[in-house]
């Protein structure tokens, strides 16, 4: 199930008098340095696509209105959709903010053997009625088939591929329409003279393995036939949290970069604590003025959760990246991964003598700050100056 131009829909619902009245609506493009996140169907007629630089989209469709992504409203609407789906399907997996997989296996008797297309259409109607969001559903016996089928269902429709019809269904698509094939792989396929799923399906498995490696080769052999062994997995555990910013103008000043780094560390730390997680790995990403992207990461023996600890690790990583190449930065990002659950009791002090990145007292303070911000707003408490040690 896929929401139709989700960000455009939500922007309209959030502002019915403004964005809601604009047929030519583009969402995204915080500045002229950004890209379009989503374009209304009318704007797409002009050739505008999501991911396209805002400047170019403006040129293609000068009459279009550009609005920022209504981030909070999108998260809210996505949750509402999810809640409805949980009532209608035994297994639901969120693939992204606007895309969900439903495994209806075992519901045949419940729905008294009705056709899958009828079930799908009922889900589409109920989601629409309860959340105001127009969605499309694709159906099939394999994940990849269902996903590709949603494209044919759009907008506001349903497309079901009957069991046994998978290979014939896939044969109609070009290879770039297969999820998992991007520009790089497409170029390699082109060099072997392959442009469509049907052409790739005519190549023997061994040759695909020889050309593209055993893993990618087997993957391609299966996908072009509509084969996809992956299950719909409802227990989705987050693996990383990150926050990054492209500056309005490139930044070369170390102090200024460090201030930005602190803001990003606070954003990531807040999200981490809200999920009651700790992170063992902190990563810093730097995109230079020439678009060269570099990153550095560091893994700690124990997970951390305070803004301060994240920032301290991030700052030393930023220094080493800047030391290697000192040039104006276009983007800075902080990410955490290797996530572990918070534990309530203080761990034994294995590292006696070594300086700890954060103490139990630091964590208590961080959580108190979170509560104050929940109550009085993000701006109620902000970092003042950069500190050096734990407990300060």
The reply on whether position 375 binds DNA by CB under 7 A is no
- 99, 176, 222, 244: the catalytic one is 99
Q: Residue 316 interacts with DNA (CB under 7 A)?
A: no
What lies within 8 Å, CB to CB, of 90 at 6+ separation is 103, 104, 105, 106, 107
Phi, then psi, of 209 in degrees rounded to 5: -65, -40
Under the binding rule (CB under 7 A), the answer on residue 263 touching DNA is no
Task: Please report whether residue 96 would count as binding DNA according to CB under 7 A.
Answer: yes
Could you give the CA distance from residue 210 to residue 155 in angstroms, rounded to a whole number? Answer: 40
- CB-neighbour burial class of residue 62 (10 A; exposed 0-12, middle 13-18, buried 19+): exposed
Is residue 149 within 8 Å of 138, Cβ to Cβ?
yes
Q: What are the structure tokens assigned to 326, written together?
A: 């000192």
| Binding residue (CB under 7 A) for DNA from 13, 14, 35, 167 | 35
Residues 331-350 that bind DNA (CB under 7 A): 331, 333, 335, 337-338
Q: Which residues lie across from 28 on neighbouring strands?
A: 36
Pull the structure tokens for residue 153: 């269902």
Identified binder of DNA from the candidate list 18, 20, 72, 179, rule CB under 7 A: 179
List the interface residues with DNA, window 14-33 (CB under 7 A): 28, 30, 32-33
Q: Decide whether 183 or 353 has the Cβ nearer to DNA.
A: 183
- The secondary structure of residue 3, as a DSSP letter, is E
244 binds DNA (CB under 7 A): yes
- Distance separating alpha carbons of residues 42 and 25, to the nearest angstrom: 8
Distances in Å between the Cα of 306 and the Cα atoms of 274, 322, 335 are 11, 24, 13
Strand pairing report for 25-28 and 65-67 = parallel
**According to the binding rule CB under 7 A, does residue 299 interact with DNA?**
yes
Would you call 176 a catalytic residue per the annotation? Answer: no
**How far apart are CB 374 and DNA at their closest, in Å?**
19
Tell me which of 109, 239, 341, 371 binds DNA, using CB under 7 A. 239
- Which residues partner with 38 through β-bridges? 27
- Say whether residue 243 binds DNA (CB under 7 A): yes
Question: Which one, 160 or 339, has the nearer CB to DNA?
Answer: 339
User: Is residue 315 near DNA by the rule CB under 7 A?
Assistant: no
373 binds DNA (CB under 7 A): no
Structure token digits, residue 42:
């009318």
Task: Count residues near DNA (CB under 7 A).
Answer: 60
User: Binding pattern to DNA, positions 36-55, x when CB under 7 A?
Assistant: -x------------xx-x-x
Q: How far is the CB of 133 from DNA (least distance, A)?
A: 13
The piece of 85-93, 251-259, 278-286, 344-352 that touches DNA (CB under 7 A) is 278-286
DSSP string, 38-106: EE-HHHHTTT--TTSBHHHHHHH-TT-EEE---HHHHHHHHHHHHHHHHHH-SEEEEEETTEEEEE-TT
- Of 107 and 337, nearer to DNA (C-beta) is 337
CB of 150: closest distance to DNA in angstroms?
A: 9
First vs last C-alpha separation in the chain? 49
Q: How many CB atoms lie within 10 A of CB 40?
A: 24
Torsion, Cα of 25, 77, 5, 222 (10° steps): 160
Alpha-carbon Rg for the chain, nearest whole angstrom, is: 24
Number of Cβ within 10 Å of residue 71's Cβ equals: 11
Q: Among residues 22 and 101, whose Cβ is nearest to DNA?
A: 101
Comparison of 36 and 116: residue with beta carbon closer to DNA: 36
Q: Which stretch binds DNA (CB under 7 A): 77-85, 94-102, 161-169, 352-360?
A: 94-102
Region near DNA per CB under 7 A, out of 92-100, 153-161, 201-209, 353-361:
92-100
Residues identified as active-site: 99
Q: Which residues are at the interface with DNA (CB under 7 A)?
A: 6, 28, 30, 32-35, 37, 50-51, 53, 55-56, 59, 95-99, 147, 178-186, 213, 215-216, 238-246, 271, 280-281, 283, 290-291, 293-299, 330-331, 333, 335, 337-338
């Amino acid at each position: 199930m896929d929401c139709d131009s989700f960000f455009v829909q939500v922007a309209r619902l959030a502002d019915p008098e403004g964005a809601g009245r604009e047929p030519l609506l583009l969402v995204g493009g915080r500045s002229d340095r950004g890209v379009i996140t989503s374009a209304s169907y009318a704007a797409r007629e002009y050739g505008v696509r999501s991911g396209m630089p805002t400047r170019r989209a403006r040129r293609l469709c000068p009459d279009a209105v550009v609005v920022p992504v209504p981030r909070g409203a999108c998260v809210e609407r996505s949750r509402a959709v999810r809640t409805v789906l949980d009532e209608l399907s035994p297994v639901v997996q969120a693939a992204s903010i606007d895309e969900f997989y439903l495994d209806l296996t075992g519901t045949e008797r419940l729905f008294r053997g009705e056709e899958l297309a009828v079930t799908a259409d009922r889900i589409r109607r109920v989601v629409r009625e309860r959340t105001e969001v127009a969605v499309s559903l694709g159906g099939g016996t394999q994940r990849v088939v269902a996903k590709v089928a949603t494209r044919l269902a759009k907008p506001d429709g349903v497309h079901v591929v009957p069991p046994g019809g998978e290979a014939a269904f896939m044969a109609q698509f070009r290879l770039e329409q297969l999820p998992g094939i991007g520009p790089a792989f497409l170029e390699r396929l082109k060099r072997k003279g392959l442009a469509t799923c049907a052409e790739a399906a005519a190549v023997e498995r061994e040759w695909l393995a020889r050309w593209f490696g055993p893993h990618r080769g087997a993957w391609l052999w299966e996908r072009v036939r509509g084969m996809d062994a992956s299950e719909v997995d409802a227990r989705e555990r987050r693996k990383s949290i990150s926050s990054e910013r492209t500056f309005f103008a490139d930044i070369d000043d170390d102090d200024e970069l460090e201030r930005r780094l602190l803001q990003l560390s606070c954003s990531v730390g807040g999200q981490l604590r809200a999920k009651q997680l700790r992170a063992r790995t902190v990563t810093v990403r730097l995109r230079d003025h020439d678009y060269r992207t570099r990153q550095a990461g560091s893994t700690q023996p124990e997970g951390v959760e305070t803004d301060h600890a994240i920032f301290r690790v991030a700052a030393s990583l930023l220094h080493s990246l800047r030391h290697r190449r000192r040039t104006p930065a276009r983007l800075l990002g902080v990410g955490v991964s290797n996530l572990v659950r918070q534990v309530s009791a203080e761990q034994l002090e294995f590292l006696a003598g070594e300086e700890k990145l954060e103490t139990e007292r630091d964590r208590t303070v961080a959580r108190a700050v979170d509560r104050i911000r929940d109550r009085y707003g993000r701006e109620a408490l902000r970092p003042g100056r950069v500190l050096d040690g734990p407990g300060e």
